Amino acid sequence: MKRIFDFLISFILLVIISPVLVIIGVLIKYNLGSPILFKQTRPGLDGRPFTLYKFRSMNNQNDKHGRPLPDHLRLTRFGNALRKLSLDELPQLVNVVKGDLSLVGPRPLLMEYLPLYNDDQAKRHDVRPGITGWAQVNGRNEISWEEKFKLDVWYVNHQSFFLDVKILLLTIVKVVRSEGVNSGTNETMLPFRGSDNREREGQG
């Protein structure tokens, strides 16, 4: 039932907002250049890799050694606006239609994080990841990784159709209010290094 709901809603939304997607693509091309889409391999259900689609929100500026500048230096005012309105997430509706994502579920993170999870945190991959989730409507980037993973696992253990509807409605409210987008003074979350690693570093 959830998969049918995800497919129908995402397909209908893609049809309705297709003109908006074209306009955003043109604006990205004008403001940031090519490519328009950001593609990255992420872990899906059971940790299986898939290609995630997002609208690009950063420029291609490199340092003198040819390496990309830190995220907060490459995130322009235009890109920041895309993120605050969550417009950069819209191409993920294609991922939902394909079956890579669900509308609601733990956010797909980086492949390199998989070996860093403890047994409890790894349960977030027991379900299909989502465009939005319980952690996103309860702090998003304003909470720690550990808090975020606890919320993800709570969702895995309590998921239901009505909970998904509640999360989708709360997401709309969060996006309208631009709540929880940034983490402190950073434009993006700091990398996850593993809960155990943090504890050892604190004791060192």
pLDDT at position 76 is 84
Mean pLDDT estimate for the chain:
86
Mean pLDDT (whole number) for 34-45 = 94
Is the sign of the CA dihedral 196, 197, 198, 201 positive or negative? positive
pLDDT at position 188 is 58
- Determine what percent of the chain is predicted with pLDDT higher than 90: 63
pLDDT at position 142 is 77
Phi, psi of 18 (to 5 degrees): -55, -40
User: What's the pLDDT band for 183 if we cut at 50, 70, 90?
Assistant: very low
User: Residue 184 and residue 144: Cα distance in Å, rounded?
Assistant: 11
Least confident of 56-70, 94-108, 162-176, 183-197: 183-197
Q: Count Cβ atoms below 10 Å from residue 158 Cβ, excluding itself.
A: 9
Instruction: Please state, in angstroms and as integers, the Cα–Cα distance from residue 129 to each residue in 21, 94, 109, 163, 189, following that order.
Output: 23, 14, 9, 15, 18
Could you tell me the pTM of the whole model? 0.84
pLDDT at position 199 is 43
Q: Could you tell me which residues are beta bridge partners of residue 41?
A: 51
User: What is the per-residue pLDDT across 74-90, written as a single tens digit (0 to 9) for each?
Assistant: 788 888 889 888 899 99
pLDDT at position 196 is 63
Tokens of 133: 């989730």
User: What is the per-residue pLDDT across 128-155, written as a single tens digit (0 to 9) for each?
Assistant: 999 999 999 998 777 889 999 999 999 9
Whether residue 44 contacts residue 101, with contact meaning beta carbons closer than 8 Å, is answered with yes
